Amino acid sequence: MGMTITEKILAAHAGLDHVEPGQLINARIDLALGNDITAPLAIKEFKKLGLKKVFDPERVVLVPDHFTPAKDIKSAEQAKILRDFAREQGLAHYFEIGRMGIEHCLLPEAGLVGPGDLVIGADSHTCTYGALGAFATGVGSTDLAAAMATGELWFKVPETILFRYHGKLKPWVGGKDLILYTIGQIGVDGARYMAMEFTGEAIKELSMDGRFTMANMAIEAGAKNGIFPVDEKTIAYIRGRLQRDYRIYQSDPDARYAREIDIDAGSIEPQVALPHLPENARSVREIGEIKIDQVVIGSCTNGRLEDLRVAAEILKGQKVHPEVRLIVIPGTQKIYAEALAEGLISIFIEAGAAVSTPTCGPCLGGHMGILAQGERALATTNRNFVGRMGHPESEVYLAGPAVAAASAVKGRIAAPEEVVK
């Protein structure tokens, strides 16, 4: 019986020839990640073990990105726990403010993840790296502590849902629209405890940035991981970044899937997910007149260069609506620098946007753009739960960068064609 990519990576890291969905395995970890919210708890647990060293200082990555640059004294104390631990352990990959980025934009960019890797992160959106053909999944702080100590962790081998995206994408449709549409179809627990394998001609055409966006939101369907087959785009992306060997796994033709879902991607229009669940996806045209107070373009979902290019294409020569605050947050310092060099940042500033140093910031209601009671935001982030961006009686709508930029201009949720003809 054949195996899926996910099964093959798990089998290889568990030292097994074959694994089956449902099987509990102990697997070797290639990389373990923590941030300023989850790592302090993990470090506390790690220290209780009385161990002197993490399993491998090259393979433990710490990124202070959620409440940084520190938004208050408590956050500063949390970030300091990471910094002190990184120094004391001699971690090769600790990323300081000014040289960092949002973890899930940063790790692939820094060449820390490659095809066939097994990555765990104490952050649910660790699933982002599936875009590179890696098995990557979010865990909690205690799991991170165990992984830092032993370089291993237990896993239940997930079943896989195979998605095939057919057709050619319409203008302004990107990875975000595909994944919001998909979650709209299967629901926020539609892939609970499963792997989502994304294939089809529309996926082959999709850029790496678009693939990162899709893999990023696999967790929003409850999935354990999202994964893409490796192709020439993947190889082009890792060239010059990844400094070590990697292995490409492909799903066998006779691999077993829990479900196979065919999606006519050519008919998908730009999507918007209504409050308060990512599954409330609609075509932007269907949602009617919805005024907004704030637009956020950024996050580990859509804070990459291509996202900023799309937004700039729409915002060029336009002004942000007088009653809207537009906040643009490049995902990493490198993306920020590239956007600056390409003139994107001046387009945003001339349009009347606030541009921030890389941070999670408003995505999780942390800082840099919290909503007041009754306010409404449209964001390129991944979650629109109650209170996610601020007051429990505020609202978040999710969309891709094209709809976000158009909406910032119009002052209401708008289709890109309403601004750019």
Q: Residue ranges for the binding site for [4Fe-4S] cluster?
A: 300, 360, 363
Q: By C-beta, is 123 or 209 nearer to ligand SF4?
A: 123
Binds 48, which of ligand SF4, other proteins, none (CB < 5 to 8 A, cut-off by type)?
other proteins
Site for other proteins, rule CB under 8 A: 24, 37-38, 40-41, 44-45, 48-49, 51, 66-67, 71-72, 74-75, 78, 121-124, 126, 138-143, 145-146, 149-150, 154, 188-189, 192-193, 219, 222, 224, 277, 364-366, 383, 385-388, 392
Binds 17, which of other proteins, ligand SF4, none (CB < 5 to 8 A, cut-off by type)?
none
Q: By C-beta, is 200 or 358 nearer to ligand SF4?
A: 358
Could you identify the residue written with the tokens 């066939």? 116
Q: By C-beta, is 89 or 213 nearer to ligand SF4?
A: 213
- Nearest distance in Å: CB 202, ligand SF4: 25
Binds 277, which of ligand SF4, other proteins, none (CB < 5 to 8 A, cut-off by type)?
other proteins
- Nearest distance in Å: CB 200, other proteins: 26
β-bridge partners, 135 = 118
> Other CB atoms closer than 10 Å to residue 185's CB: what's the count?
14
Binds 11, which of other proteins, ligand SF4, none (CB < 5 to 8 A, cut-off by type)?
none
- Does position 176 bind ligand SF4 by CB under 6 A? no
Binding to ligand SF4 by CB under 6 A, coded x per residue (else -) over 374-413, reads -------xx-------------------------------
- Does position 182 bind ligand SF4 by CB under 6 A? no
Binds 299, which of ligand SF4, other proteins, none (CB < 5 to 8 A, cut-off by type)?
ligand SF4
Q: By C-beta, is 354 or 364 nearer to ligand SF4?
A: 364
Best CA proximity match to 84, nearest among 34, 143, 142, 43: 43
Asked whether the CA dihedral 286, 287, 293, 295 is positive or negative, the reply is negative
Q: Name which of residues 264 to 323 contact ligand SF4 (CB under 6 A).
A: 299-300
- Does position 125 bind ligand SF4 by CB under 6 A? yes
- CB neighbour list of residue 333: distance below 8 Å, 6 or more residues apart: 98, 99, 100, 101, 357, 358
- Nearest distance in Å: CB 317, other proteins: 36
> Other CB atoms closer than 10 Å to residue 118's CB: what's the count?
21
Which one of residues 10, 12, 43, 102 is an interface residue with ligand SF4 (CB under 6 A)? 102
Binds 385, which of other proteins, ligand SF4, none (CB < 5 to 8 A, cut-off by type)?
other proteins
Q: By C-beta, is 46 or 246 nearer to other proteins?
A: 46
Binds 188, which of ligand SF4, other proteins, none (CB < 5 to 8 A, cut-off by type)?
other proteins
Binds 300, which of ligand SF4, other proteins, none (CB < 5 to 8 A, cut-off by type)?
ligand SF4
Using the contact rule CB under 6 A, the part of the chain among 131-139, 200-208, 282-290, 356-364 near ligand SF4 is 356-364
- Nearest distance in Å: CB 150, other proteins: 6
| HEC secondary structure over the chain | CECCHHHHHHHHHHCCCCCCCCCEEEEECCEEEEECCCHHHHHHHHHHCCCCCCCCCCCEEEECCCCCCCCCHHHHHHHHHHHHHHHHHCCCEECCCCCCECHHHHHHHCCCCCCCCEEEECCHHHHHHHHHCCEEEECCHHHHHHHHHHCEEEEECCEEEEEEEECCCCCCCCHHHHHHHHHHHHCCCCCCCEEEEEECHHHHHCCHHHHHHHHHHHHHHCCCEEECCCCHHHHHHHCCCCCCCCCCCCCCCCECCCEEEEEEHHHCCCEEECCCCCCCEEEHHHCCCCECCEEEECHHHHCCHHHHHHHHHHHCCCCCCCCCEEEECCCEHHHHHHHHHCCHHHHHHHHCCEECCCCCHHHHCCCCCCECCCCEEEECCCCCCCCCCECCCCEEEEECHHHHHHHHHHCECCCHHHCCC
- Does position 141 bind ligand SF4 by CB under 6 A? no
Residues that bind ligand SF4 (CB under 6 A): 66, 102-104, 123, 125, 299-300, 360, 363-364, 381-382
